[in-house]
Amino acid sequence: MSSENNDEPSPSPTKKTNNNNNTNNSDSESDVNNEHLIGNVQRVAIVPPNYEGKPKKGHLIFDASFECGNLGRIDYVNDYEYDLFIRPDTCCPRFRCWFLFTVENVKADQRVIFHIVNFSKAKSLYRDGMTPLVKSTSRKRWQRLPTRNVFYYRSPDHRKNYVMSFTFCFDREDDVYQFAYSFPYTYTKLQNYLESIDQRQFDYFQRRPLVYSVQKRRLDLLTVANPALLVKGRRKKVVIVTARVHPGETPSSYVCQGFIEFIISDHPIAQLLRDNIVFYIVPMLNPDGVFLGNQRCSLLGFDLNRVWHDPSIWAHPEIYGIKTHIMKLNEDMDFELDFFIDIHAHSTMMNGFMYGNVYEDANRFEKHSFFPRLLSRNAEDFSITSTTFNRDALKFGTGRRTLGGCLQDSTHCYTLEVSFFSYQTSTTSQAVPYTEELFKLLNLVDFFFLLKPFIFHLYLIV
């Protein structure tokens, strides 16, 4: 099965299992309440109990041993049903949400029911009509399953945990089918995309590794600005955009890519912005977690969006590197930091929205709320009613909270959230499901299409 993301495994031997408590390569047990460190399944054929011999056509072969893959265990229920277990984040069994796996060796018109039985969250957009995605060798683009085929419920058969069940009919015997929680966006896909920009040799685009992750993957720092603006001694405004600190939140990568595509384009407003603002962009803050198929954590099991207050150079090099860079800019008289925006995806809410900070100074707070209000006027999928400003203790250690407390008063720090599923507008009652392309067009790009006077007011005068 071909993939632009290079996220398919190389051919490997098929392992057969015929018990009702299948384990994977690591031989580690896994259950709903106490998920141990286990690896992804690797081309395992699920056959009926007591079956002997080579797997036959229709004995499904599951695989998740590739970049961003996640499936930890499969239990055979009957010839038509399978219980699937998400592999928990490495070194942190709490988080189980993202899944991405392939199925092959099917029969034409074979019908199955897959039960994903160990989600770590009770609330989910599956309650509101979201469905898993599928593509196959002959079905090149991701498609959402029909809502009539997907069920989200509390299951008495699985310790009253929430289960997402979906039915599927395999239509082509020779296809390899791929199922995902949301649109995958791999580390390799990002590297290929950035290399394609490098090849265009823009004089206003620079790319360099800021640091390397624990597993020695690049943490790319992009600089987008007119070269004349970068002259030492010239005062310049700065906007910092980061994304994908939580690896399972793949929509954030599409939003960030859409922003990059706009800001390097020849659109007059993009040119105006590059002439007056230095943009620093880190499109993937957690490359190891992304590569491994984790939901929230890094390789070592850390939520990197809870360590901004005291990042470790060995345990959280990605946050240590970007925070060090930001603090140097903050202390440099050549730079004036205007915005820090950290892009995320939300698994229980619709639309795009923001989290901002609360300040005692009324004037500072009024300026801080200006950006979300502009977005709500200009972007139909942005919800000002879902936008909140808080000092929630649970958000301690986030980039927004930490930087909002240690940067200059004129710097506005936000978390930008986008729904995994859809948005609703004030004029329509029906939800509009997001696609890869719609994610790229979200929020930040819409904002920059404001009239020039607003841009000059916001960036050049305030």
DSSP secondary structure, 382-450, as one string? B-TTT-EEE--GGGTT-HHHHHHHHS-TT-EEEEEEEESSEE--TT-SS-EE--HHHHHTSTHHHHTTS
**Does one domain contain both 197 and 172?**
no
Packing angle of the helix pair 317-331, 399-406 (nearest 10 deg): 30
Domain that holds residue 102: 15-180
Active-site annotation holder among 318, 417, 436, 437: 417
Tell whether 167 and 203 lie within a shared domain: no
- For 139, left (φ over 0), alpha (ψ -120 to 50), or beta? beta
Residue 8 lies in a domain: no
Q: Determine the pLDDT at residue 16.
A: 64
Which residue, of 180, 213, 245, is where some domain finishes? 180
What is the Cα–Cα distance from 110 to 80, expressed in whole angstroms?
9
69 and 203 assigned to the same domain: no
Domain end, chosen from 160, 180, 200, is at 180
What is the model's pLDDT at position 395? 84
Please tell me the total count of domains within the chain: 2
Flag whether 2 is in a domain: no
- pLDDT of res. 32: 30
Confirm whether 4 is domain-assigned: no
Same structural domain, 276 and 174:
no
**Alpha helices (H) in 187-226, listed in sequence order:** 187-198
Angle of helix 251-263 relative to helix 268-276, nearest 10 degrees? 90
How do 150-155 and 218-224 pair as beta strands? unpaired
pLDDT at 160: 83
Nearest to 133 by CA among 72, 100, 181: 181
CATH classification of the domain holding 437: 3.40.630.10
Residues 400 and 450 in one domain: yes
Residue 137: Cβ within 10 Å count = 15
Q: Is the pTM of this model over 0.85?
A: yes
Of the three residues 123, 154, 180, the one that is the final residue of a domain is 180
> Are 301 and 407 contained in the same domain?
yes
- Let me know whether 169 and 192 are in one domain: no
- pLDDT by residue for the chain (462 residues), tens only, comes to 333 344 444 445 566 665 444 433 333 333 233 334 359 999 999 999 999 999 999 999 999 999 999 999 999 999 999 999 999 999 999 999 999 999 999 999 999 999 999 999 889 999 999 999 999 999 899 999 999 999 999 988 888 888 999 999 999 999 999 999 999 999 999 999 999 999 999 999 999 999 999 999 999 999 999 999 999 999 999 999 999 999 999 999 999 999 999 999 999 889 999 999 999 999 999 999 999 999 999 999 999 999 999 999 999 999 999 999 999 999 999 999 999 999 999 999 999 999 999 998 999 999 999 889 888 887 888 999 999 998 877 788 999 999 999 999 999 999 999 999 999 887 777 889 999 999 998 755 555 554 344 444 444 433
pLDDT for position 13:
56
417 as an active site residue: the answer is yes
Let me know: does 253 contact 345? Beta carbons within 8 Å. Answer: no
The pLDDT value recorded for residue 457 is: 47
Residue 214 shares a structural domain with residue 143: no
Statement to judge: residues 151 and 205 lie in one domain: no
Same domain membership, residue 241 and residue 167: no
Whether 205 and 272 map to the same domain: the answer is: yes
